Structure 1
Amino acid sequence: MTRLIALNKPFGVLSQFSGGKGDGARDTLAHLLSVPGVYPAGRLDKDSEGLLLLTDDGRLQARIAEPRHKLPKTYWAQVEGVPDAAALEMLRRGVMLKDGVTRPARVETLDPPTVWPRDPPIRVRQSVPDSWIALTLTEGRNRQVRRMTAAVGHPTLRLIRWQIGPWTLDGLAPGAWREVSA
């Protein structure tokens, strides 16, 4: 029977079970769950938070993680400033990055979502407002959301992956996990 686990990866944790700062390090998945035989289906940067799926099924892992399958992934990005219609349209159409133009993305503005506090908190500047946007991507380039928002003049301050395909973070606290249907 295939196991699929949804985990809310906290800020500062590596998307792997080893390679942290030492034995028993709190900066790897090993301190969050001890389910044998499961591996991450994709990655989240150490400074990103949110949904990480883990499975013991290699085919399912590839289907979730590999961009060629175009499984949509939705991110909530707290960005510096308030993107105008032109910036949002650029994100929707695709942004030129050093490694080429991104695929079109679904983008919408968000009211500030009710999410857990981040530790450490993001930097707040009195003179620069911030806002939230939701981006849904079907590709998985390295640090893509951060590079896209920076390219349109709104650097990402906080990044939470909210959804992968049909699976969401709904009801999962940071560091918590649950088995989900594959």
Structure 2
Amino acid sequence: MPSYVSASPVGFHVKDLRDFLDAHPTHISLDPERRTWATEEACLELSNMFPDDTAGEILCNLFLYNKTRDVNRICPSCRRVYRVGEAPQAYESFEAFLARDDDRVPKVNSATREEQDLSGICSGLCFEALIDGFEYMSAEEINDWAHCHAPYLAGIQEAARQSGYVMRNATAEEWASSGIKLIWEKKQES
């Protein structure tokens, strides 16, 4: 697996945005509305809206990436790479993920799909994390967003249980250096 991504029970997450974009460039949309986000003027305006630090620069670049692509997205909260409409899912390998068939990928509900298209946020969990944040907890303990993702929650919980992963808030240092809000990591053996 390339060093610029990491795997979790819900897919692949970008660790290094520049390296990922260099290795997997996607074309800017031909849609006129999406193309306006790619203008120099829009980029300058946006750069003034985000904090003048590493996390702000990364979030600005993620916002631009998500606004200028038709279906490819990177979640600004957990950095999951996905296409609009895709539900979280584990893959055997990064190569299998890249070669996935859109017709065979689990889909999200229409409200989540709209949010994915609009903001790039991949799930209700990531939306709430950006708004409120979570204390250290496992995926199986996160129940307050079940109404948004009831069909997918059981699958995510089972994948987390079987894989031994937990989701946690990023530390202040992790947030400052990467802009990542939610981190999937292997559960510590007690």
Q: Common fold, TM-score beyond 0.5?
A: no
* Higher relative contact order, structure no. (Cα contacts within 8 Å, ≥ 6 residues apart): 1
Bigger strand fraction? 1
Bigger helix fraction? 2
- TM-score of the superposition, structure 1-length normalised? 0.28
